[in-house]
Structure 1
Amino acid sequence: MVMGDSIRKQLAAAALKRQLERVSNDAQRDEAGCEQAMPKGQASRTDGDARWDARARFEAMPQYQQVSLIRQMGDALQVESPFFRVHEGAAGATTRIGGREYINFANYNYLGLSSDPTVVDQAKAAIDRYGVSASASRMVAGERPIQRDLERALADLYGTEDCVAFVSGHATNVTVIGALFGPGDLIVHDALAHNSVVQGAQLSGAKRLSFAHNDWRELDALLARTRGDYRNVLVVIEGLYSMDGDLPDLARFVDIRARHGVFLMVDEAHSLGVLGERGLGIREHSGVASDDVDLWMGTMSKTLAGCGGFIAGCQPLVDMLRHLAPGFLYSVGLAPALAAGSLAALTRMLAEPQRVAMLQARGRQFLREARAAGFDTGSSAGYAVVPIMTRSSLKAAQWANALFEEGINVQPIFYPAVEERAARLRFFICAMHEPAQITRTIETLARIAKR
């Protein structure tokens, strides 16, 4: 009887997955055809036309059907959704959900600075002085000294001429790539680049190509074939990949930059505060000079305990972005309290390199014990991000919920976010995790996996 239920669940999931793929393909076709003009002479929408009324409902859109099918898949598998759980306080190595404390592997508070008393005090002081919002775009009336102080500190950190801060990390990549490049240019990115990179490339109107994950040889060959066909070429990689926890051979990409005459952008969202002895990122880890990279991108929402993004680079680059990037020019300025908190977190990181050392030790421990228990950790280098591959969406959801029942909070990543064969649990490690918490987590998961 149990085996019959299991087979029925798997068949139902497979059917829903096939339907989800069809809906997703339909949505992509609709998007591709959305720019086609209405044929000349075709009747416009009229009141009472049932066809138009049906298509004007959000429920009829392929995107909503995709969301509905994801929910149906959960129902068919009898797996409770692990998403949108409400955390009742500051989240770090532990968190409280529903009045219960959990070991927490589902946040980016890598150095434990989000609730650090000094960081919090600096943010509170900024609220007292400036209020909770800049209340205008920075060009109009939203410029505050604390924003420039943060940008100057980040520029000093990267050894660049200047830096510009944005209100969102995702929007930073979208607006910067979209503002700097356009038709006649080429944007080449790692196949596992963040969605924000892809969105920015699409917005720009430039030609977009990808190369196999971390494969600098494939990139080299691609540029050898195509570089001469384009005016400007941008290559985008990440310092630490947030899904797989691995990193590129930065020196190889720097060499490619020089030989092919391209711009190189490194997204350090997950590597700042994580790589290098002092947490200076992949530049320190790889021994690469600051000016070997054209655009240093990062976020304030991970190590820097705030929210927003930044670009550090040469003065002409920053000047263009301050005056022309829509996500800066037409957006409210970064909230002073967030700028103050991130500046305080950056100062703490530099003053306390032991936090970085502790984070790296915890990451190595997690990777070592997970592999010793027989788990597949993919290509993770054992820093702040370690996946445990399940190769099954059903298994990822079941394991995540079983861990939650045992007082351990970790998020599953499954189809359609990744291919079915790439389904996983994704563990974010922070400096404040205790060795015993890591050991308990691996032992608990090993017991769950044997059921």
Structure 2
Amino acid sequence: MLAQSWGIENPFFKIQESRSKRLVTIEGRQLVNFGWCDYLGLSNHPEVLSAARSAIDAFGSCISASRMISGSLDMHQQLEAELAEFFGFENSLMFVSGHAANVSTIATLVSKGDLVIHDEFVHNSAIVGARLSGAEIKTFKHNNLESLVRLLLRNRDSFRNVLIIIEGLYSTEGDCVDLSSLIEIKEKFGCWLMVDDAHGVGVLGESGRGVAEYTGVDARKIDVFMGTLSKSLASCGGFIAGNAELIEILKYSSPAFVYSVSLPPAMTAAALASLRILKSERERVQRLHDNCQLFFRDCRARGFDTGTSIGVGMVPIIVGSVKNTGKLLERMYEQGFNPSPIIYPGVRINAGRLRFFISSEHSVDELQSCAEALSR
């Protein structure tokens, strides 16, 4: 109804009728796809598809049991071990949903008498987890460490434990925090740090190891590291990485792990194959970075507002009102491009934007043509 009142079509729940590499068909039209977070183009990689098919042949379509009781496979443990090793932690634990990984982990680690302080732009899953935990919640201004310090000076001594939550690469802004300075702060005040690096996995850093590699920080200084399997790793689900003690606690206490079925065989095998390709084909990450910078620089040169984005992975084009965002989206559809719209309450009321998720597999012509289409 709101879309009609603004004179635009409803931009949500559009059916993706088919997909062929970088193209997606919507309402019978083929569009260059900038709406999926397939950063490394692995969701169509023959090795990933073959691994998923082989896993179905071996174990069927699902494991109808929890990991704790009778649903653990060797490939689950292998993937967790390789994720931990790649990102620089002692161990990791997989969840069937990235959203649930955040919610359940936060609600397990803190409770009444504790404090959660999070960046104002963290993902909904972190906010929901903090609310369910029963802990006190406070918010600091986006990437503003002075705002965080002021909160800690006023509140740290009143709480047993304090958990600081940030994102590695912010999914609406496309920017990063000064992680090195943040770690100094958390160590000074005796806090835990949780980093949701869902969009940084496979994207940030020379080899795609995420925000720690990108900022030159020892990953082990992050107490709770969250990553997703559903973007660069071309699967579904999420994982938490950290020291062995953290993972042991979550294995026996986190409701979204204990009371959930295990990750399906095909999804596990696809993520494992994708991770191994990420490790062996580092040129994919460099190609992604090159494509991102080409598109980012072109958009900036044309005068578009990209906010505080660093131009890696996701590039936002900030439009303003919901109506204007919807109209620009329609123009992009008409010219053969499929970006991702985000409006209030996903962002502030007059900060609507189109997000362009760049892939290592986009061609130079597709990127340049898209930037040109924005100008029309």
Name the TM tier (shorter chain).
Answer: over 0.9
1:382 aligns to 2:311 (yes or no): yes
Contact kept in structure 2, 1:92 and 1:109, CA below 8 Å: no
Kindly provide the amino acid, as one letter, of the partner of residue 91 in structure 2.
D
1:188 aligns with 2:117: yes
Work out the CA distance in 2 between the residues paired with 1:411 and 1:154.
Answer: 28
Deviations 1:402-439 (A, max 9, x none): 11011111122223332232111111111111111111
**What's the counterpart of residue 170 of structure 2?**
241
- Residues 415 and 161 of structure 1: CA distance in aligned 2, closer, same or farther (over 3 Å): closer
CA distance in 2, matches of 1:254, 1:260: 10
Offset at residue 326 of structure 1 (A): 0.4
Give, in whole Å, the separation in 2 of the partners of 1:303 and 1:418. Answer: 24
Please, which of 269, 275, 286 is the counterpart of residue 357 of structure 1? 286
Encode CA deviations 1:283-327: one digit per residue, 9 max, x unaligned.
111111122111111010000100001011111110110001000
Residue aligning to 1:228: 157
1:212, distance to aligned residue in structure 2 (A): 0.4
1:92, 1:430 within 8 Å by CA — same for their partners in 2?
A: no
For 2:171 and 2:271, how far apart are their aligned partners in 1? 21
1:268 paired with 2:197, answer: yes
Judging changes above 3 Å, is the alpha-carbon distance between structure 1 residues 263 and 416 closer, same or farther for their aligned structure 2 residues?
closer
Would you say the 8 A contact 1:187–1:206 is kept in 2? yes
Q: Secondary structure at the match of 2:32?
A: strand
Deviations for 1:198-251, whole angstroms, at most 9, x for unmatched residues?
A: 000000000011100011121122112211100011001111000010011110
Cα distance in 1 between the residues matched to 2:242 and 2:306: 35
Q: Which residue number corresponds to residue 66 of structure 1?
A: none
- Partner Cα distance (1:211, 1:397) in 2: 30
Alignment-derived partner of residue 3 in structure 2 = 74
- Contact 2:38–2:231 (CA<8 Å) still a contact in 1? yes
Q: Which runs of 5+ in 2 are unaligned?
A: none
Higher RCO, Cα 8 Å, sep 6+: 2
Distance 2:244 2:211 in 1: 22
Using the alignment, how far apart are the partners of 2:344 and 2:190 within structure 1? 38
Percentage of matched positions with identical amino acids: 44
Larger strand proportion, structure 1 or 2? 2
Could you tell me how far apart the structure 2 residues matched to 1:197 and 1:220 are?
A: 20
| Counterpart check, 1:397 vs 2:326 | yes
Aligned partner of 1:407 in structure 2 is 336
2:66 aligned with 1:137, yes or no? yes
Distance (whole Å) between structure 2 residues aligned to residue 106 and residue 380 of structure 1: 17
Q: Which amino acid aligns with 1:422?
A: A
Instruction: Identify the residue that residue 254 of structure 1 maps to in structure 2.
Output: 183
RMSD: 1.1
2:70 match: secondary structure: helix
Distance in 1 separating the partners of 2:178 and 2:222 = 13
1:122 aligned onto 2:51:
yes
Following TM superposition, by how much is the alpha carbon of 1:98 offset from its aligned partner in structure 2, in angstroms?
Answer: 3.3
Q: Structure 2: how far apart are the matches of 1:166 and 1:293?
A: 19
345, 351, 354: which one aligns with 1:425:
354
Conserved in 1, the CA contact under 8 Å of 2:86 and 2:209?
yes
Pair 91,185 (structure 1): closer, same or farther in 2 beyond 3 Å: farther
Query: In structure 2, the residue corresponding to 1:420 is in which secondary structure?
Result: coil
Deviations 1:166-206 (A, max 9, x none): 00000000000011110000001100000000000000000
- CA offsets 1:15-60 (integer angstroms, 9 cap, x no match): xxxxxxxxxxxxxxxxxxxxxxxxxxxxxxxxxxxxxxxxxxxxxx
Partners in 2 of 1:338 and 1:325 — Cα distance?
Answer: 21
Q: CA deviation at 1:91?
A: 6.4
Question: Which shifted more, 375-384 or 157-166?
Answer: 157-166
Q: Of residues 23, 37, 52 in structure 2, which corresponds to 1:108?
A: 37
Q: Does the 8 A contact of 1:91 with 1:109 survive in 2?
A: no
TM-score w.r.t. length of structure 1: 0.82
The answer as to 2:149 corresponding to 1:214 is no
Cα deviation, residue 92, structure 1: 5.2
1:257 deviates by 1.4
**Contact conserved, 2:340 with 2:355, CA < 8 A, in 1?**
yes
Output the amino acid matched with 2:268.
A
Q: Does 1:93 align with 2:22?
A: yes
Shift of 1:391: 1.0
Q: Which has the higher helix share?
A: 1
Structure 1 residue ranges (4+ consecutive) displaced by more than 3 angstroms after TM superposition: 89-92
Aligned AA (1:274): V
Letter in 2 for 1:74: A
- Is residue 299 from structure 1 mapped to residue 228 from structure 2 by the alignment? yes
Write the distance in 1 (CA, Å) between the matches of 2:345 and 2:211: 30
Residue type matched to 2:38 in 1?
N
Counterpart residue number, 1:39: none
Residue deviations 1:335-355 (CA, integer Å, cap 9, x gap): 111111001000001101110
1:67 corresponds in structure 2 to none
Letter in 1 for 2:58: R
1:394 is displaced (CA, Å) by 0.6
2:98 matched residue in structure 1: 169
Q: Which of these residues, 260, 265, 272, is aligned with residue 343 of structure 1?
A: 272
